[in-house]
Amino acid sequence: MRQAVTWKSRRPKLSKPVVAVMIPTYNEKENVGRLILEIEQLKLPQLQLVVVDDDSPDGTGELLDVLAKTRAHVHVIHRRQERGRGTAGLAGFKYALAQGADYIVEMDADFSHHPRYLPELIKAAAEADVVVGSRFVRDGKDLDRGWLRHWVTVLANFYIRKILKIASVRDCTSGYRLFRREVLEAVNMDNTVSLGPSIVQELLYKAHLLGFRMREIPIVFVDRRKGESTFSWNIMLQSLLMTLILKFLFSRLRRVEIHDPGTRVGK
Ligand SMILES: Nc1nc2c(ncn2[C@@H]2O[C@H](COP(=O)(O)OP(=O)(O)OP(=O)(O)O)[C@@H](O)[C@H]2O)c(=O)[nH]1
Ligand SMILES: [Mg+2]
């Protein structure tokens, strides 16, 4: 992991926002290299990639090190002891904030979240604090997942929106999202309770309670093409139970500090 000069200090004044794309990986050797290449082909200005690998046994970490050697914009965080999608994402977010990112995008490595939506996520952030890549708005789709997983996702979203009262977002379980740095600073990442995928709803819920502006853009979500699925009914049930715990623990959370629109970048 290189940490010499921060991205912000390298940036010319009054330029576009620095965007960090954070990708958690576990056994994604067949996907992550191609994903990085496809993101690079978009030639997005000021883009940094932060990949958080949990010592994947398939050699994802070693592949990332090879790629990072010739790419100053690729940053690899190797977690040797800790495990889990939730804490991996938080480690990546904290790294991106420390380096001075203005916008932080999270996406999966398995091409379910196609990189072609990145420009639109970034564009939408001019008018929002959180931008969600959504399967459940007009032109969004949940493709070839099989009817069971599709309906599980639809019902999980219905349940989460009802319990947490998040009316402005239809796809509360989407892990393809952009946060302005103010959001991640405000949600207090040292105070999270999710270790696994429910981190997705936890951050969304806290951002909602804190009054940040949310927007959705349509995405077509496709099932993972390569590599093994980490989905399990156990994880699904834990996430649904976590919805109730989040409600119990955090529903009284309110913004204490007024967000100053004058300080926003990229307007
Ligand atoms: N660092 C890290 N990343 C993880 C871990 N578990 C999953 N991931 C990554 O998190 C992202 C989402 O996980 P997925 O396995 O795609 O989860 P899913 O989309 O619910 O299920 P499938 O696509 O069917 O496997 C992927 O990029 C994974 O590689 C983990 O324990 N640690
Ligand atoms: Mg996946």
Report CA(93)–ligand 1 centroid distance (Å): 16
Are 110 and 224 in contact by the 8 Å Cβ rule? The answer is: yes
What's the pLDDT band for 264 if we cut at 50, 70, 90? very low
Q: Whose CA is nearest to atom 20 of ligand 1?
A: 231
pLDDT (mean) for 201-219: 97
Give residue-wise pLDDT tens across range 56-68: 999 999 999 999 9
Give residue-wise pLDDT tens across range 72-94: 999 999 999 999 999 999 999 99
pTM score, whole prediction: 0.91
Report CA(260)–ligand 2 centroid distance (Å): 36
**Between residues 126 and 256, which one has the greater pLDDT?**
126
What's the pLDDT band for 266 if we cut at 50, 70, 90? very low
Q: Which residues surround ligand 2, an ion (CB under 5 A)?
A: 108, 110, 112, 224
Counting ligand 1 atoms within 8 A of each CB, the residue from 31, 80, 108 with the most, and so the one to mutate, is 108
Q: Which residues contact 128 (CB under 8 A, 6 or more apart)?
A: 213, 214, 215
**Between residues 50 and 9, which one has the greater pLDDT?**
50
Share of the chain above pLDDT 90, in %: 73
Q: How many Cβ atoms are within 10 Å of 236's Cβ, its own excluded?
A: 16
DSSP annotation of 104:
E
Ligand 1 atom with least separation from CA of 88: 1
What is each CA distance from 71 to 65, 115, 145, in whole angstroms? Answer: 10, 18, 34
Ligand 1 atom with least separation from CA of 89: 1
Report CA(25)–ligand 1 centroid distance (Å): 6
Report CA(258)–ligand 1 centroid distance (Å): 35
Q: Is the pLDDT of residue 262 over 60?
A: no
**Between residues 105 and 226, which one has the greater pLDDT?**
105
State how far Cα 257 lies from the chain centre. 24
Report CA(193)–ligand 2 centroid distance (Å): 22
Looking at this protein, which amino acid is placed at residue 31?
Answer: N
What local confidence, expressed as pLDDT, does residue 164 receive?
95
Give residue-wise pLDDT tens across range 138-191: 999 998 778 888 898 999 999 999 999 999 999 999 999 999 999 999 999 998
Report CA(255)–ligand 2 centroid distance (Å): 33
What's the pLDDT band for 4 if we cut at 50, 70, 90? low
Give residue-wise pLDDT tens across range 233-255: 888 888 899 999 999 999 988 86
Are 19 and 48 in contact by the 8 Å Cβ rule? The answer is: yes
Counting ligand 1 atoms within 8 A of each CB, the residue from 85, 135, 143, 240 with the most, and so the one to mutate, is 85
What local confidence, expressed as pLDDT, does residue 258 receive?
45
Looking at this protein, which amino acid is placed at residue 24?
Answer: P
What local confidence, expressed as pLDDT, does residue 3 receive?
52
pLDDT (mean) for 97-123: 97
pLDDT (mean) for 222-231: 82
Out of 4-8, 93-97, 155-159, pick the least confident: 4-8
Q: Mean pLDDT for the chain?
A: 91
Ligand 1 atom with least separation from CA of 224: 23
137: which 2 tokens? 């708005």
Ligand 1 atom with least separation from CA of 79: 1
Ligand 1 atom with least separation from CA of 175: 12
Looking at this protein, which amino acid is placed at residue 237?
Answer: L
Q: Is the pLDDT of residue 114 over 70?
A: yes
What local confidence, expressed as pLDDT, does residue 146 receive?
82
DSSP annotation of 159:
H
Q: Whose CA is nearest to atom 14 of ligand 1?
A: 230
Domains of the chain with CATH codes = 16-259 (3.90.550.10)
Report CA(245)–ligand 2 centroid distance (Å): 24
Q: Whose CA is nearest to atom 31 of ligand 1?
A: 84
